[in-house]
Amino acid sequence: MKMTLAEIATAVGATNDVTKWADTVVTSVAFDTRELESGALFVPLAGMRDGHEFLAQARTNGAVAAFWKRDRSDTPTDFPVLVVDDPLVALQDLSRHYLRKINPKVVAVTGSNGKTTTKDMVAAILASRFNVTKTKDNFNNEIGVPITILAMESNTEMLVVEMGMDRPGQLTFLSQLTAPDIAVITMIGEAHIEFFGTRDKIADAKMEIIQSLKADGTFIYDGDEPLLTVRAQTVDQQQVTFGQQADNDLYAHEVQSTKTTTSFKTNLWGDLTFKLPMPGDYNVDNALAALAVGHVLAIAPEAAATALWNMDLTKNRTEWVTGSAGEQILSDVYNSNPTAVKEVMKAFSTAATTGQRAVVLGDMLELGVAADSLHAELADCFDPALVSRVYLVGEHMKALYDALEVKYDSTDLFHYAQDEQSALIAQLKQDIKSGDLLLIKGSHGIHLENVLTALTA
């Protein structure tokens, strides 16, 4: 990114005169003063504290300009500010302007599960031929998507944007902001069901991603999901389906999974084997979605296969790490929902080991009134012959604890409140030995990354 303050002022409709600083060059944008670089535009957002309070720190950390809310009485006179009605709206307007200026093709990815992994896969495949920018970490909402757009280099040809949602209308806005050339829905699950009530309503909200899909764009979706196939009948744009069933445009066969890898072949590319550096049959669908994107954009399948094997995955998404006791830990501590837990448990429970398998599960959040029952239903995933010990964390995991008491002895089944992680860590350090396998998974709000850090320090 490289824009003068004069260009930015025009793009966002700043109401003050910036002639004095018109030639000031901005090379990045950030709302967190800890992420500022020299040459940055600081965007003061309203959070637990008002971002305007951090202007002095932003200046110290390299900001050369800032947005400033018009209704404040303390507008600086000794520092370049752009006065706007709402700094967040200004950020979004600036990203819209910059997106039109760079004009890459846009691939938008959403889904109840797998969207981050699919985003990484899509970006890896497209990078075999194009200059690609992708969503960093979880920058997938009304703030994160504009930041992702503004992080593009001027030579970006493909922008791969992850889009999250927790309420109706959110994806409509993000679709309008980015006007995708390709829209991908990975799957429909129970994530955020607290806010939507039913999977039908979740599907409706996910379909918002195509609201501003270009007329000559492509809609790629899970063809094994009836909630999507029915809704896709109203979509005029080109469509590509993926899944496990043979009636999809792209489907997998000869799927094989080990503790650390998964391989498969497809109906479109004969004997070519695709190999993923991660376990779990469920990741095959994510890969199929990414391969469908690559196919639409004329990526050679051999190049796509190489890209998938060498891709750069977002941290803490089904990532194997080594613990300090010599155990192997499958870290998936960023997000969790019933579908995701069932899939990862299926893969983990049969992973080869010379020791024992143990599982740490934290609460799955945003499940609403069905939370306890959805947690209890996970009991079907547990076989004491395959998973020796179970450690559960959080209020709703008590329902799973109660359901597992008929399967596990009290010496192998534990439940902790969220604020009892120190006791959990002590128990794990006592129980887990070299050669064991340990799965750690939970919603980010439970902060099981602290447990992971303690076990790998």
List binding-site positions.
111-117
Feature table: binding site for ATP: 111-117
In 3D space, the residue among 24, 94, 95 whose CA is nearest the CA of residue 62 turns out to be 24
